[in-house]
Each structure stands twice: as structure tokens, then as C-alpha cells.
Amino acid sequence: MAFDITVIGAAIIDILASPVNASVFSAGSVPMETIKMSFGGDALNETIILSELGKKVQLISKVGDDEAGKRVLGFLQEKDISAESIHIEKGLSTGINIVLIDEKGERHFLTNPNGSLRKLDLEDIQPFLSDAADIVSFASMFVSPLLTIPKMKVLFSGIKKMGKTLAVD
């Protein structure tokens, strides 16, 4: 399958609540104007936008074999984006962020350090690079603590040896 762009990084679910102020931490219950579920992670967001712009996008990511992971995969299917480059790991919790948005629009994230957001590793990425597009975007590279500097060096030099253009955010 030929892709226009390959995106590497997180594919998760965000639960957004707004507007939030400090009273949320002193009250038993606080009504919010908005509480909604959304799909997120920089890589998933990039993939969706590029796809909506008419590009054929490969998303390389990782989710758990859980309800949240199934929802992420279903969302990709709805958007007609292949999930073939998504590593599904049994026993892993798919990343779910709670995003508290204050009155000024600033976002504050509650994340699970043991979820898929922080568990992407070199072995989750390398098997899919043979199909990578000429342009590879690595989204939010510092959100993946398992991708150490030596592992990133291996990954980035491998992409370069393949003659690909690498963009990193």
C-alpha cells in the first residue's frame, strides 16, 4: 500500500471538561458547561487532518486490547484510515487523558503513565517502516519515555538510510 505520509506517535482518547476553575478541587460535584469524549494524541490528530486534506496516511501507533483501544481502531475505520500499523498489546491500557480546560482556554492534562500514551517503543515502530511514505512525521517525540536517545538515533538513522524525509515535533 503506497502512503503519502507516515505519522508515528500516540492515538488515544481525551475526555474534555470545561470551563474548570480551582473550585473543582474543593467541591464534591461541579457542573461543567461541556464534558465530551474526543479522540486525540498528536499523531492521531495529524493523521485525521492529513486524511481530510486528501492524503493517504499511515499511522504507526500502539493501543491496548481494551474498550478504549477498540474505540480508537473503530474511529480510524470510520475515517477510512488503515489500522494495519497499529500495535495492539494485550494487557495494556489504551491512553485516556482527562483534559481540564480553564476559563482562558488553557488545557491541563491528567494522564496515565502506564497507558499506551507513554508505552510506544522502537519494536512497535520498526516492523511498519518498510511501508513508510517518503515523508515521515514523528509527533510529540518526548511523550514516549521508552524511546531513549539511543533508540531514537537508531530509528532516525534508519529512516534516513531509507531515503525518507523526517519531520519531528
Q: Is the pLDDT of residue 1 over 70?
A: no
Residue 147 CB neighbours (<10 A): 20
In percent, how much of the chain has pLDDT > 70? 99
pLDDT band for 140, please (50, 70, 90 cuts).
confident
On whether the CB atoms of residues 10 and 145 are closer than 8 A, the answer is no
Q: What is the reported pLDDT for 11?
A: 97
| 129: confidence class by pLDDT, cuts 50, 70, 90 | very high
Q: Residue 105: what pLDDT?
A: 95
- Give residue-wise pLDDT tens across range 73-117: 999 999 999 999 999 999 999 999 999 999 999 999 999 999 999
Q: Is the four-CA dihedral 30, 36, 41, 42 of positive or negative sign?
A: negative
Distance (Å, whole) CA 127 – CA 40: 23
The pTM score is: 0.93
Cα end-to-end span (Å), the chain? 26
Give the integer Cα–Cα distance in Å for 41 and 46: 9
Chain centre to alpha carbon of residue 105 = 21
